[in-house]
Amino acid sequence: MNTELKTIKEQLEEREFEVLSPYATKCKDSKGRAKPRIDEFEIRTEFQRDRDKILHSKSFRRLKHKTQVFLSPYNDHFRTRLTHTLEVSQIARTIARALKLNEDLVEAISLGHDLGHTAFGHCGEGTLDSLLPNGFHHNLQSVRVVDVLEDMNLCRETVDGILTHTWGYKPKTPEAQVVQYADKIAYINHDIEDSVRAGIITEEDLPQDCVKYFTSNQSTRLGKMITDVIKSSTDSPLVKMSDEGWFYVTKLRTWMFDNVYLDPIAKAEEKKARNIIQSLYEYYTETLTQYYPKEEIPQIVTDYISGMTDQYAIRRYLDLFIPKPLAEHTNDDALIKKVMAGK
């Protein structure tokens, strides 16, 4: 076929077979979408379309006002769920490029992996999990967001990567495996930086064997973790870290749970956040009993509450449960009346 007659999309698809690793997921080999497309774009591959669908979604925009670790941060330099997502995407693309995997698929999975996260971070997730008959898991809700709530009709490889980004799942593509590692690398490193900034820990508090292995310098530690994944996965169908590297990553993650994620100072406001989520859940569950069958209500309420940003959840709580004062005339009003009466 004459190159001039090929669409840009077709040229990009051919380039993948020329440039990418034999283990990489190629667009032309995709298992497709749940529903046939009704339109055709000649300038983007299918994974590029997935990335753009996620990027332009309402659920992606709401990530900017959802908690990462610190609730209602007073400092604009703390991470939110959105900045975490962007850091995951960049780390994953760095790894994918070095391994000659499909960057477009990696980016789509990265941008979509946390769309189902609740307000108030893992505290919100834990509260919903305790309230729902079948529990709540943000990766499953992220899939529901792209499949049902926003009906993005993504490629099956993208949906699989979103589902399996949480540890304990087995991804079907090396690109999804990359995102699994990128997610852990991102949050361990940026949560350390945010915790130091918040005054909860210092770099000297970190486990000394982890510091010796990774160093205490943020960018050096991040770079060493990324490099470990790349070196350990080169020319292999499996994306992984070295046994030694994974040992220290796991130890650092465990230390962060003990000293930051479950720390009473860092989590001082979580009781209030849990009360907000629980109160909203109970209120909407009761309210909807007159409109929907009982068995459908938990999912409807979950979809609504899990989509809320921190600010919106607080606003709905204030509207529903905090009494508002009756409108009163101010002294200025009385003064104006006197002036007008004297004329």
List, for residues 247-272, the tens digit of each pLDDT value.
999 999 999 988 887 766 656 788 89
Residue 71: predicted pLDDT: 75
- Which band of pLDDT confidence, cut at 50, 70 and 90, is reported for residue 119? very high
d(CA 19, CA 266): 46
Residue 326: predicted pLDDT: 62
d(CA 284, CA 288): 6
Are 112 and 137 in contact by the 8 Å Cβ rule? The answer is no
Task: Name all contacts of 90-94 with Cβ < 8 Å and 24+ positions apart.
Answer: 91/182, 91/185, 91/186, 91/222, 91/226, 92/178, 92/179, 92/182, 94/226
Residue 75: predicted pLDDT: 75
Please say if the pLDDT value at position 213 is more than 70.
yes
pLDDT tens column, 216-240 = 899 999 999 999 999 999 999 999 9
d(CA 308, CA 118): 7
The values of phi and psi at residue 67, to 5°, are -65, 140
Please say if the pLDDT value at position 79 is more than 70.
yes
Domains in the chain: boundaries: 3-267
Give the angle 87-90-94 at the CA atoms, nearest 5°.
140
Which CATH number describes the domain made up of 3-267? 1.10.3210.10
pLDDT tens column, 146-176 = 999 999 999 999 999 999 999 999 999 999 9
